[in-house]
Chain A
């Protein structure tokens, strides 16, 4: 059975069966990534455009690799080096790219809702690679896959998202996805960074990091987004790291074998101490590897739909 939607715009409202299918398909591609020749001819002849209006290293490289390993033709567009700077409208740019006969678009944009808008003006399959502070579905899928790989299940697990929840698309996608899959989700951070209505999504709010460590099986630690003026939400970085930073001492004190995840890039010494970021409880680089496999699964499932 194929996915119910021909685009991946977010995880809000995506049925459990679809998430399950993507995660199961990811296992296939994990195996492909272990082969000496990490390439299959599945999307031969398909053209994928990576439309990045916002900076990205990990996600863009990850998508690009996933496309290449499925034998699709991929091309990269970055806003800074394009005609957008000459005053062309977003819609015209898209229409022009579409006129060159493309099949799929991977889009990242600072404005929430850009992927939805794209579905209305072009025929390609649209994959959201992050839209503003709205959603980042493939990141949440790879987080869920990594948890499932490590702990064997999602149903009934307790997962806490730590940090700047209010400005995080990773947090929102994770909340939607994890709740659908039966996990118990909580968030933890300074009250200025916890959105007022977050509890309406079925999420628990914890303000004490020690309590969060004790209560949960997994901590998904978000990056403090200094470029998004995160500094305005707490008195100093030192204070943030003192009250919410995960350190070895803190993990030891709570004596809990909690799994540590981070979507990257890490601010070492802020949200995670260097020791924890390289420690035995984290799976941060595993997440990156799984990211390629998850994106291959999504591209495969959308690209072979008729």
Chain B
């Protein structure tokens, strides 16, 4: 099935997932060295969701919003790893001039509208972006990502209702990594299958394998198509898994080592790599080349962040209002 897809796209998806993985590994290290502070939520293990989804949209007219676990989406949208790392370091060269940090990455030009630290707050905002797209009839679609924790917020339910009554071009993607901080989603959810939650609002839902980037790409493509051409919102539940704790301060003692190891066997990068090798789309040599290229990019991002200046004190008074 991989061979039915464009080879360049497949390789790009592999590359992007590898970039995210390396970036997150490095971010974790830098956190350990206290170069990064505060809340830092890593995306290791969930790469296929952001990468497969972004491959299905056209960021010249489409938009993407997510919650606080946002490094992967930012990179998938093509944001500069240097600007992201510098932001994590709190430097003036960061994408948000050192004012946002890990949870508040933004790139207006790349149509990446955050990064939001309040669980589920991005859901009405994303719905509003889709509202603007419909208002202008510009053919754009918005992807709205959130976790299994956010799906129980009122903001989710209020938004789906309005997306349906106004036929907004939006795809809601629940990244169910199965643990809302330290709480298993089954313990706090009325249903195990989140795709059902769209039915109360007449919105079609589907569960997909969030560890398989090809499946994510294909399913999100269908949903985007529906949103773009028929103005139909939809809800996807991408079942996935985070390898790290909820944030850097979480040792994740609420789950077993075996559970984590079991999911690592379904690693999205390994799955795609094996598939591409088997089907002769990728060679081991190319893979190694990607790996070393990415290593260099991530090292360069760290070096850039290290080298960059701290923001001058006066900058804390800037960017509050448009003068």
Partners in one complex: no
Show the binding face of B for A, using Cβ within 8 Å: none
Show the binding face of A for B, using Cβ within 8 Å: none
